[in-house]
């Protein structure tokens, strides 16, 4: 699609929030083939935080299902390159880093369900405030897979008590983009001590009559991979997603 | 559970249809680790015919999620052993064949949704007749994964026209056991020329006012693996499933 051409040519390098409304955006994790089985198994065992949309063929920069005319090495506005678990670069393309043994994993993103929540009349507080959604490390262990393990990361959205059930129903119908909340209410039960200090993103205020609602977050698999200190991992830069050819509607049950 | 002990001791070696009603039964595919990534990717790309319930750790005969006190090498009543794509044995245990590089895949089975269909008032014709469900090869290509490819196998159940919608709704709510039908009506559209001659299982009559309804079938991944002529593959023998600790209810959305 046209937008990916702009990105490929380096003419769009910003966050993709609000771009091409209605189309699914996707997170990215690229690992060498030697680690691909462990990563795919981690996702299979933890589908809520790690909903895989598509897996590339080994070495391929193309996709079959979520986008035609796509180049995985150039069509995200910005990438992050990690060597031995350390961030070493944030380039706008990774053709220079590409290896023939790379496997790319496209992962579902909460942008898809946020559009549905808004359509159901639920305010996205972080959108209203023009900031990133707050995300928190939790004490919920992942089911480990080979060399990969970690804890779940969650995103939080304040929801008025009378809309909690709607929020659950809307997102439960979209399991390929994290699905239903993992927890409603008391943050301490997840090991989150202070909502005002998220581990990623920005804090948002909770108003009287609202409950904090927590969803599994796509940062989870990135963290697990980085914590394992692989020699080389490439991800999208936060907020800088791939815009796919697939409508969010297609991700509904 | 007690039933698996009977199987482990060799005191139950028959088909498991009707055994421990309410509990999920599972299909089995075991491959050497060298092929495990391709198989897991095949399942990721074709979740309808290949719904993975759980993957064992390399070399392990245990499970974490679907059963405690389980031995994957003994707790299926009967197995099939394939060497280079050829059936060489149908033993009641495979401890003698076990290798440290084995990975076992538990795959969802239509037994789980059949119980729900019956509860919804839909007759299972093959059950009424005391025969196996009819299964057919189709012309629907799988999305290939590395060395694995093939066509989808489907199972067929006759459903009265007024109950088709119910059959769709009941099974759509259970994506981990194949989910909704892949096709309703005209078998020719799937490349099936004669319903009276299924490729696996037994024929069942279609009565006036009934439509043939086709679901993705767990024979699909077995066929794909066998067609690729791996040096060694172990599966359950048809109808001889693992009875797990998990209730069918737990597989519902």
How confident is the model over A211-229, as pLDDT tens digits?
A: 999 999 988 998 898 888 8
Whether the per-residue pLDDT at B97 is higher than 90: the answer is: yes
Distance (Å) from the alpha carbon of A36 to chain B's nearest alpha carbon: 8
What is the interface pTM, i.e. ipTM, of the complex?
0.82
Rounded Cα distance between B142 and B45, Å, is 8
**Pair of tokens at residue B158:** 């006759």
Cβ atoms of residues A77 and A240 within 8 Å: yes
Alpha helices, DSSP H only, in B22-150?
33-45, 111-119, 125-129
Report the mean per-residue pLDDT for chain B.
93
Query: Please, what is the end-to-end C-alpha distance for chain A in angstroms?
Result: 25
Question: Number of C-alpha atoms within 13 angstroms, CB side, residue B211?
Answer: 15
Output the pLDDT for position A36.
96
Output the pLDDT for position B183.
97
Rounded Cα distance between A27 and A29, Å, is 7
- For the residues B228-248, what does the mean pLDDT come to? 91
Report the mean per-residue pLDDT for chain A.
93
- For the residues A2-14, what does the mean pLDDT come to? 93
Q: Kindly report the number of other CB atoms within 10 A of residue B198's CB atom.
A: 20
Helix or strand or coil: residue A229? coil
Burial class (CB in 10 A: 0-12, 13-18, 19+), A169: exposed
Summarised one tens digit per residue, pLDDT across range B224-236 is 988 888 899 999 9
Whether the per-residue pLDDT at A30 is higher than 80: the answer is: yes
Alpha helices, DSSP H only, in A120-253?
125-129, 164-172, 219-227
Band (pLDDT 50/70/90 cuts) for residue A126 is: very high
Residue-range domains of chain A with CATH = 2-109+225-251 (3.40.1640.10), 111-220 (3.30.2040.10)
Contacts of A43 in chain B (CB under 8 A): 44
Output the pLDDT for position B137.
95
- For the residues A48-54, what does the mean pLDDT come to? 95
Cβ atoms of residues A107 and A28 within 8 Å: yes
- For the residues A101-108, what does the mean pLDDT come to? 96
Whether the per-residue pLDDT at A34 is higher than 80: the answer is: yes
Starting at the edge strand that comes first in sequence, how are the strands of the sheet with B183-184 ordered?
Answer: B135-141, B151-160, B210-216, B183-184
Cβ atoms of residues A193 and A136 within 8 Å: no
Band (pLDDT 50/70/90 cuts) for residue A159 is: very high
Q: Is B143 on the interface with A (CB under 8 A)?
A: yes
Q: Pick from B41, B58, B143: which is nearest to A40 by CB?
A: B41
Output the pLDDT for position B160.
96
Output the pLDDT for position A18.
79
Between A43-57, A91-105, B155-169, B224-238, the lowest mean confidence (pLDDT) is in: B224-238
Q: Kindly report the number of other CB atoms within 10 A of residue B191's CB atom.
A: 12
Q: Inter-axis angle of helices A33-45 and B33-45, to 10 degrees? A: 50
Residues 6+ apart with CB under 8 A from A158: A125, A204, A205, A206, A207, A210, A211, A212, A213
Whether the per-residue pLDDT at B253 is higher than 80: the answer is: no
Band (pLDDT 50/70/90 cuts) for residue B22 is: confident
Nearest to residue B244, comparing CAs of B31, B98, B27?
B27
b/e map of B87-125 (b: 16 or more CB within 10 Å)?
eeeebbbbeebbeeebbbbbbbbbbbbbbbbeeeebbbb
**Pair of tokens at residue B234:** 């172990």
Contacts of A65 in chain B (CB under 8 A): 143
Whether the per-residue pLDDT at B212 is higher than 90: the answer is: yes
Q: Pick from A41, A64, A65: which is nearest to B40 by CB?
A: A41
**Pair of tokens at residue B25:** 């039964």
Q: Pick from B40, B64, B253: which is nearest to A44 by CB?
A: B40
Residues 6+ apart with CB under 8 A from B186: none
Whether the per-residue pLDDT at B242 is higher than 90: the answer is: yes
- For the residues A32-36, what does the mean pLDDT come to? 95
Contacts of B172 in chain A (CB under 8 A): 253
Q: Is B41 on the interface with A (CB under 8 A)?
A: yes
DSSP string, A40-69: HHHHHH-TTT--EEEEPPTT----SSS-SS
Rounded Cα distance between B155 and B203, Å, is 11
Contacts of B48 in chain A (CB under 8 A): none
Band (pLDDT 50/70/90 cuts) for residue A209 is: very high
Q: Is A59 on the interface with B (CB under 8 A)?
A: no
Whether the per-residue pLDDT at B252 is higher than 90: the answer is: no
Distance (Å) from the alpha carbon of B37 to chain A's nearest alpha carbon: 5
Whether the per-residue pLDDT at A22 is higher than 90: the answer is: no
Between A48-52, A110-114, A249-253, B118-122, the lowest mean confidence (pLDDT) is in: A249-253
Rounded Cα distance between A181 and A50, Å, is 14
**Pair of tokens at residue B114:** 């059949």
Higher confidence at residue B239 or residue A82?
A82
């Amino acid at each position: 699609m046209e937008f990916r051409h702009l990105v490929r040519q380096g003419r769009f390098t910003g966050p993709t929030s609000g771009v091409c409304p209605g189309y699914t955006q996707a997170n990215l994790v690229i690992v060498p083939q030697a680690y691909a089985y462990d990563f795919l198994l981690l996702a299979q065992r933890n589908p809520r935080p790690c909903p895989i949309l598509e897996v590339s063929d080994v070495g391929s920069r193309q996709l079959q299902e979520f986008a035609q005319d796509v180049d995985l090495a150039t069509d995200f506005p910005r990438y992050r390159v990690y060597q031995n678990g350390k961030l070493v670069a944030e380039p706008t393309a990774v053709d220079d880093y590409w290896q023939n043994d790379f496997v790319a994993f496209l992962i579902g993103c909460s942008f898809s369900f946020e559009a549905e929540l808004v359509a159901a009349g639920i305010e996205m507080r972080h959108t209203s405030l023009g900031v990133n959604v707050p995300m928190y490390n939790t004490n919920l262990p992942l089911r480990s897979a080979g060399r990969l393990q970690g804890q779940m990361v969650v995103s939080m959205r304040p929801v008025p008590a009378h809309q909690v059930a709607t929020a659950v129903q809307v997102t439960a119908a979209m399991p390929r983009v994290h699905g239903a909340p993992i927890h409603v209410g008391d943050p301490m039960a997840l090991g989150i001590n202070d909502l005002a200090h998220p581990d990623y993103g920005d804090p948002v205020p909770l108003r009287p009559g609202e409950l904090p609602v927590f969803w599994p977050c796509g940062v989870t698999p990135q963290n697990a991979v980085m914590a394992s200190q692989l020699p080389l991992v490439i991800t999208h830069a936060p907020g800088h997603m791939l815009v796919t050819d697939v409508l969010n509607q297609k991700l509904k049950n």
